[in-house]
C-alpha cells in the first residue's frame, strides 16, 4: 500500500484502492493507493517490509555510511494511476 494525502490523490486522479505507479529517477514500481489525511500533503508513505512491493527500486544509490540503509526518506517520486500490479 502507498499512503497518499487526499488532496494529492485528487490532483493526480488517484482513487482509494486503485493501482498506482510510483516512479523516481532510480526506477518504478506499482502498488495500491490508500488515501489518508494522516499523511501530510506532498508526502507519500509505504513500507519496505514486503519485498514484492518493489519499493527498493525507487530509492537512490545514496546510503547511510554506517548501516548502508538507502536514502529513501528523501526520494522524490511521481505518482499516477496505473493498471495492473507488480509482475
Per-domain residue ranges of the chain: 2-81
φ, ψ dihedrals at 31, nearest 5°:
-160, 175
pLDDT of residue 76: 84
CATH of 2-81, one of 2.40.40.20, 3.40.50.2000, 1.10.10.10, 3.90.76.10: 2.40.40.20
Q: What percent of the chain has pLDDT over 90?
A: 47
pLDDT of residue 71: 66
pTM for this prediction: 0.75
Of the two residues 67 and 80, the one the predictor is more confident about is 80
Amino acid at each position: 500500500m502507498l499512503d497518499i494525502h487526499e488532496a494529492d490523490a485528487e490532483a493526480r486522479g488517484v482513487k482509494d484502492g486503485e493501482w498506482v505507479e510510483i516512479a523516481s529517477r532510480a526506477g518504478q514500481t506499482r502498488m495500491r493507493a490508500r488515501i489518508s489525511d494522516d499523511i501530510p500533503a506532498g508526502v507519500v508513505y509505504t513500507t519496505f517490509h514486503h519485498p514484492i512491493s518493489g519499493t527498493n527500486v525507487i530509492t537512490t544509490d545514496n546510503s547511510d555510511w554506517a548501516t548502508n540503509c538507502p536514502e529513501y526518506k528523501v526520494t522524490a517520486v511521481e505518482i499516477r494511476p496505473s493498471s495492473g500490479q507488480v509482475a
